[in-house]
Structures are given as C-alpha cells and as structure tokens.
Amino acid sequence: SAVISQKPSRDICQRGTSLTIQCQVDSQVTMMFWYRQQPGQSLTLIATANQGSEATYESGFVIDKFPISRPNLTFSTLTVSNMSPEDSSIYLCSVFLPQETQYFGPGTRLLVL
C-alpha cells in the first residue's frame, strides 16, 4: 500500500486567486493522478502526472487552469488558477501501484467565495 498526504487539507479562497495543493507519497511511484470531486458527485480525473514528462490532461481540463508539477517520484503539486466558485470541490491526489490498485490521499477541500 501507499501512504499519501496532502496539503492543505482545506482552504477558503477568494475568486481570482490561485491555490497550490501539494501531494507527498511515502514511496517512489511512477504514475500519479489528480482527481476532482464536486459536491455530491463522483470523482473526475483531471490529469495524469508522470515524472519527467508533461502532465496529460483529460477533456475539459487545461494546463493554464490546472498547472501540475512532478519534480520527483514522491511529490506532485496541482495549482487551481484564477479560481471561481465553480472550482469549489475536493481535490484528491492518487497513486497507482502495479499489481495493486490506486490509493487516494485524504483530499483538499476547497471553497471559493
């Protein structure tokens, strides 16, 4: 299994500002993912972040809005840029362990006013 931590755990932000979410894993992993879970909804994949390459974004998500960094095999950041109230969600970092499954961090609860 993997132990994943995220910072911050929650935040309240003003519209138009940006927030960077950090994800730290206790072991080296190749594949990391960022998901968004809007209130009462399922988890939606934002992007795949592999070390040493540009993040791959899903339909509906763009790099200018959600820039991602993956500087090493245990760490990644997701920035939510120029926030609006529609960005209020839980943002979850996830890692895939081969022969196992995907594990999720505790999530970052974001409220944009």
Partner 1 sequence: QQPVQSPQAVILREGEDAVINCSSSKALYSVHWYRQKHGEAPVFLMILLKGGEQKGHEKISASFNEKKQQSSLYLTASQLSYSGTYFCGTVGNTGKLIFGQGTTLQVKP
Contact positions vs partner 1 (CB under 8 A): 33, 41-45, 48, 92, 94, 96, 100-107
Task: Name the pairing type of β-strands 56-57 and 75-80.
Answer: unpaired
- Give the nearer residue to partner 1 in terms of CB position, either 44 or 88: 44
- Give the nearer residue to partner 1 in terms of CB position, either 17 or 54: 54
Task: Name the pairing type of β-strands 56-57 and 43-50.
Answer: antiparallel
Q: How far is the CB of 103 from partner 1 (least distance, A)?
A: 6
Q: How far is the CB of 25 from partner 1 (least distance, A)?
A: 14
Are 47 and 56 a contacting pair, CB within 8 Å? yes
- Give the nearer residue to partner 1 in terms of CB position, either 33 or 66: 33
Query: How many beta carbons lie within 10 A of that of residue 66, not counting itself?
Result: 19
Q: How far is the CB of 72 from partner 1 (least distance, A)?
A: 22
Q: How far is the CB of 42 from partner 1 (least distance, A)?
A: 5
Phi and psi angles of residue 86, each rounded to the nearest 5 degrees, phi first: -65, -15
> Of 83, 68, 87, 75, which Cα lies nearest the Cα of 27?
75
